[in-house]
Amino acid sequence: MFKALLERMFAKQEKLTGESADYIRDLHRAAPGGFWRFALFTPMANYRRALPKEAYAVAKIAAAYSEDCGPCLQTTVNLATAAGVHPQIIRAAVTGDTNGMDERIATAFLFARAVCAHDFASEELRPKLIEWWGEAGIAELSLAICSSRLFPTLKRGLGHGAACQRIMIGQETLQVGTPDAHAA
């Protein structure tokens, strides 16, 4: 019965993200204690109260892309779409086109990219973000960035890393390159 409940949870995750949850199955099978600790982490990965959904989404996309241009990036895009983020903003984040975003959303995107690249530009962007969304907004951006980087790392470690792929935004397909190319 417990196994069936877990499988329903895994299937629900696959439906929500549009991607395989085999890495979670493997984690549970190999290290059940580690799996349950990971399960306690996942609510933090979705925490948002102060930020607009667009700022949150572009930060997560930038962070996911810094680690992966395959299934984890697609999952992040799928979740942004499900949250109601406009496809134009998602496309701009995937392609790195800050001209396709308003100033606040572009600043959140650039902040996330700078944090992921260990770039001092993040220090220059932080005051503006605090002005707009307060300390809570910076905290949420930081949580979004670090949580989005964990999933690709975990997947690669468990042998579920994947090569770059085409990213779907609605009916549109975008060809993406390596995450290093996006950061340039």
Least confident of 85-99, 137-151, 163-177: 163-177
> CA–CA separation, 133 vs 111, rounded Å?
14
pTM: 0.89
* pLDDT tens by residue, 36-93: 999 998 899 999 999 999 999 999 999 999 988 788 899 999 999 999 999 999 999 9
Number of H helices, E strands in the chain: 9, 2
| Number of other CB atoms surrounding residue 137 within 10 Å | 22
